[in-house]
Amino acid sequence: MCRLLGVVSSSPISVVDAVGGEVLDDFLALTKVHGDGWGAAFLGRTAGAEPEAIVSAGSALHDMEFAAATGERRSAAAMVHLRWATNGLAVQPQNSHPFVADGIAMAHNGSIKPMGPLEELLDPGVAASLKGTTDSERYFGLIRQCRRDAPTLAEAVRRAVARLREIYPDASLNALLLGEDQLIVVHAHAHSRLLDEDIEEITAAELPAEHLEDYFALRVARPTPETLVVGSTGFGDLAWEPLPPECVTAIALSDLSMTQHSLVED
C-alpha cells in the first residue's frame, strides 16, 4: 500500500511549489509507516512527451534525491509515491513505484490478492516484460495490454480496472498514471479495509486519524487556478474535495480539464 501525490500545472512547476512546503512535509512525515521505498515520475508539456522516473528502495526521509526530485525538478505534471510494502513482497528498486513502460508511468495504492488470476490475464509478451514481483506491476501490465486496442489511454485504464473489479470485488485499484499528455487518476477502492495489523501500525506511528477513517480515499484540490493536485487522504491542509468513487478521471495537461469515466454501468 502507499500514499500518492499528483500535480498538474499550466506551466512547469516543482512539487513543493505546487503544494507548499508544509503540505509536502506532512506527506513526507508519512514515511513513519510508508518507508519501504519511494518514486517520482515527471511529464513535460511537449506533445507526445514520455514520462521520466526515479525510484528508490529506501525511505524518502532525509533522502537528498527525494528532496531534489520534489524541490528542484520542474515539470508540467508529476506524481510521487511512498511505498508501504505488502507482506511478503521484497523491498527492492524493481518493486518501487512508479513503473514505466510504453510511454506510461504508474503508481498503485492497494493490494490485489491472490495474484494468480491477475497473472492469468496477461499475454506472454507482457508477462515476460515484468521486472519485479508485485501485483501492482502486473496491474500496470494489464493496462498496457488493454492500450493496444483501446482508443485512448483513459479507456484502456477503464477497461483494465473494470476487468479486475469483476475478479477482485473488494480490492483497492487506486492509481495514478502519467502519459499521453495527461494525468489519469483511478479512484476505485470498493470495500477495501485496512487489516488489523495495519491499523495497529498506523496507530502506533500516530499518523493522522484520516488514515484509519478512510485510508484509501483520493481527493483533488486547486491551490491556484493554474495548479491541480491529487492526493491520498491523511495529509496537508489544502482545500481537498472528494473524487467520485469507482471512477477513472483523465486530467489534460493542455488545460487542466477533467474527464470522468465511471466504472459503474447506468
Between 88 and 193, where is the model more confident? 193
Report the range of poorest mean pLDDT among 109-113, 191-195, 255-259.
191-195
What does the pLDDT average to over 199-212? 70
Q: What is the largest CA-CA distance in the chain?
A: 48
| pTM recorded for the entire structure | 0.93
- Quote the pLDDT of residue 266: 44
Q: Which CATH superfamily is domain 2-262 in?
A: Aminohydrolase, N-terminal nucleophile (Ntn) domain (3.60.20.10)
pLDDT band with cut points at 50, 70 and 90 for residue 152: very high
What is the helix (H) or strand (E) element at residue 141, kind and residue range?
helix 135-147
Which class for 200: exposed (0-12), middle (13-18), buried (19 or more C-beta within 10 A)? exposed
Domain boundaries defined on the chain: 2-262
User: In this predicted model, what pLDDT tens digit does every residue of 103-142 receive, in sequence order?
Assistant: 999 999 988 999 999 999 999 999 999 999 999 999 999 9
- Quote the pLDDT of residue 190: 82
CB-based contact 188:170 (threshold 8 Å):
no
Residues 6 or more apart whose Cβ sits within 8 Å of residue 102: 144, 147
Report the C-alpha gap between 164 and 145 in whole angstroms: 13
Report the C-alpha gap between 8 and 252 in whole angstroms: 8
Q: Of 131, 176, 158, which Cα lies nearest the Cα of 264?
A: 158
What does the pLDDT average to over 212-235? 90
CB-based contact 230:107 (threshold 8 Å):
no
Report the range of poorest mean pLDDT among 100-104, 177-181, 199-203.
199-203
pLDDT band with cut points at 50, 70 and 90 for residue 235: confident
Mean pLDDT of the chain: 90
Residues 6 or more apart whose Cβ sits within 8 Å of residue 17: none
The full DSSP string for 32-93 is GT--S-EEEEEE-SSTT---EEEEESS-STT-HHHHHHHHT--EEEEEEEEE-PPTTS--SG
Report the range of poorest mean pLDDT among 148-152, 167-171, 192-196.
192-196
- Quote the pLDDT of residue 35: 81
- Quote the pLDDT of residue 107: 96
- Quote the pLDDT of residue 216: 84
Report the range of poorest mean pLDDT among 14-23, 157-166, 231-240.
231-240
The residues with which 81 forms a beta bridge, in sequence order, are 4, 39
Q: Of 174, 212, 172, 165, which Cα lies nearest the Cα of 191?
A: 172
User: In this predicted model, what pLDDT tens digit does every residue of 51-74 receive, in sequence order?
Assistant: 999 998 888 888 999 999 999 999
Per the listing, cell 493496444 goes with 148
